[in-house]
A and B are shown apart, each in its own frame.
Chain A
Amino acid sequence: MKVLVAVKRVIDYNVKIRVKPDHSDVDLTNVKMAMNPFCEIAVEEAVRLKEKGVATEIVAVTVGPKAAQEQLRTALALGADRAIHVETDAHVESLAVAKLLKGVVDEERPDLVILGKQAIDTDNNQTGQMLAALTGMGQGTFASEIAFGDGVEEGQVRVTREIDGGLQSIALKLPAVVTTDLRLNEPRYAKLPDIMKAKKKPLETTTPEALGVAVTGGLTLLKVETPAERKGGVKVGSVDELVDKLKNEAKVL
């Protein structure tokens, strides 16, 4: 089975972001970048499927600027076999990313596509669902478990999903799209020898034009602001004082 994994280069999750003074966007100059945490989980899951003998080939793909090749090399170091870089400097909305990934899916014909459930920069939570729609595949979003053969027929995948009230299990016909939730697995770290080996793995570059996709979207970003700041409150000395303040000052009890 061939698995396609989509990864995204985003600001590192520990970084405290700054809004540009002209409110045009978040300032990303000289900021530490990394692979989106949900994408790391997607890569790890693909690698585990290969270790179990379910997956035979893992292809990592990203859409983004030249620098995003760093994240593809990370995916290769973690166990992906080869990588595809759809190179563009444009700001690409989820729908356009999904269209570009559909172009890659049409060429690669994977049996399973794994993505993170959301990128921690745009917080959209859209691309996997949109890719499933465009390719006519079933979708298993917010997955905390991906299983084959276990209660499902050949040619299907069982996905356990994290839903608001608990967990839901569904069977999807392959090929299918799955998006990862945080509890799916714990990603491993890339070892130095693997990082060295990853430099020799194939990395193919393509463009939106070659895939026949226009990256312009229907949304315009008008303004980015810092949210209203909460002002630090007071420290109280005892439980009595706390209860008193909540009753008489905050009036929430």
Chain B
Amino acid sequence: MRTLVLAEHHEGRLAAGTAHVVAAARAIGGEVDVLIAGENVAGVAEAAARLDGVSRVRVADNAAYAHQLAEPLADLLVQLAEDYSHVLAAASTDGKNVLPRVAALKDVSQISEILSVESADTFKRPIYAGNAIATVQSSDSLKVITVRTTAFDAVGESGTATIEALAFVADSDLSRFIGEELAHNERPELSGARVVISGGRGMGNGDNFKLLNGIADKLGAAVGASRAAVDAGYVPNDMQVGQTGKIVAPDLYIAVGISGAIQHLAGMKDSKVIVAINKDDDAPIFQVADYGLVGDLFEILPELEQKL
């Protein structure tokens, strides 16, 4: 048994999610290798080599992999898959994009977004927006799996894996990178933050999200949003928490002006402590909130910021 973890990295840095995927790989058992595919990724490879439990870091450093396009990346993974019983990636947009392509090319099923490893072939995963948990068993020779990173604790960073370069270059003319627009801010990344404060339609407009920033700064929190707030154009879509956005499970989740639709709850109901601030006493969010405060968020938020 040997597992290959596809590492995720952005702008020369290993994504935090990779340490969680390695934890899932260790729960499966056997040797764990990490694949770094990208351009100028020596630093990323060194960071991956420090993750506990990794035996080898395999590096495909080539312009073909610079933007993590699915077609060349899948061809590379298919080349390497011969040596492995399991191929894992985070259930991020990158992992979700490439792994099903790998599975189909290998003619095996994929298991999406696992929450736990029951055994080397049996896994739990959420279905119906997290309203049911399915236990599935795979009889495929190769298990292709994406991992919900918030369901696994990150491994430590005292490892000393060997690093080896891969020569194979996948040549695909099916797709070409044009450009990207990334949202930059100094706050912690939403999916890895210890505290998340999110605003919904009740925020009224995009400007009012500033009311959340002061609190986020004091708590070292990431700022999220409901789909309603994104659709209303208040904030960009990469802030969206929910079934169709990001899944978070912080120590503290503060939902402000969010009613608590099923689709939003799917993205945050595994948070340790949930606080809801809403003027509607009957909002469904209060059914999952550990602490609820009924009132006008425009009065409550400034007071909260001042008292923290």
A139 to B110, CA, bound (A): 17
A239 touches which of B122, B127, B237, B307 (Cβ 8 Å)? B307
A170 to B97, CA, bound (A): 13
Is A252 close to B, CB under 8 A?
yes
Is A67 close to B, CB under 8 A?
no
B131 touches which of A17, A95, A141, A222 (Cβ 8 Å)? A17
Residue contact A13 to B269, C-beta cutoff 8 Å:
no
Is A250 close to B, CB under 8 A?
yes
Enumerate 17 A-B pairs (CB-CB under 8 Å) in ascending A order.
A129-B70, A130-B101, A139-B71, A139-B175, A144-B237, A152-B178, A167-B180, A167-B182, A172-B174, A172-B175, A218-B108, A220-B138, A225-B135, A226-B132, A235-B291, A235-B292, A245-B291
Distance of A240 from chain B, by nearest CB (Å): 7
Residues of B close to A19: CB separation below 8 A: 132
Is B211 close to A, CB under 8 A?
no
A84 to B137, CA, bound (A): 32
Residue contact A162 to B237, C-beta cutoff 8 Å:
yes
A224 touches which of B127, B129, B183 (Cβ 8 Å)? B127
Distance of B143 from chain A, by nearest CB (Å): 9
Residues of A close to B138: CB separation below 8 A: 218-220
Chain A residue nearest in CB terms to B71: A138
Residues of B close to A230: CB separation below 8 A: 269, 274, 287-288
Could you tell me which A residues sit within 8 Å of B by CB distance? 11, 13-14, 16-17, 19, 26, 93-95, 98, 120-134, 136-142, 144, 151-152, 158, 161-173, 176, 181-183, 217-227, 230, 232-236, 238-240, 242-243, 245-246, 250, 252-253
A123 to B140, CA, bound (A): 20
Residue contact A227 to B128, C-beta cutoff 8 Å:
no
Distance of A39 from chain B, by nearest CB (Å): 14
Nearest 8 Cβ contacts at the A-B interface: A138-B174, A129-B100, A233-B290, A130-B104, A133-B104, A218-B140, A126-B100, A169-B178
Residues of B close to A235: CB separation below 8 A: 286, 291-294
Is B63 close to A, CB under 8 A?
no
Distance of A165 from chain B, by nearest CB (Å): 4
Residues of A close to B307: CB separation below 8 A: 239-240, 243
Is B170 close to A, CB under 8 A?
no
A226 to B134, CA, bound (A): 9
A174 to B209, CA, bound (A): 41
A124 to B113, CA, bound (A): 8
Residues of B close to A158: CB separation below 8 A: 178
Chain B residue nearest in CB terms to A163: B93
Chain B residue nearest in CB terms to A151: B178
Is B1 close to A, CB under 8 A?
no
Question: Interface-forming stretch among B23-31, B49-57, B198-206, B238-246?
Answer: B238-246
Residue contact B291 to A246, C-beta cutoff 8 Å:
yes
Residues of A close to B18: CB separation below 8 A: none
Q: A132-B101, A173-B175 known; A223 and B180 CB under 8 Å? A: no
Please report which residues of chain B, range 127-178, place their CB below 8 angstroms from some CB of chain A when the two chains form the complex.
127-140, 172-178
A252 touches which of B112, B227, B272, B288 (Cβ 8 Å)? B272
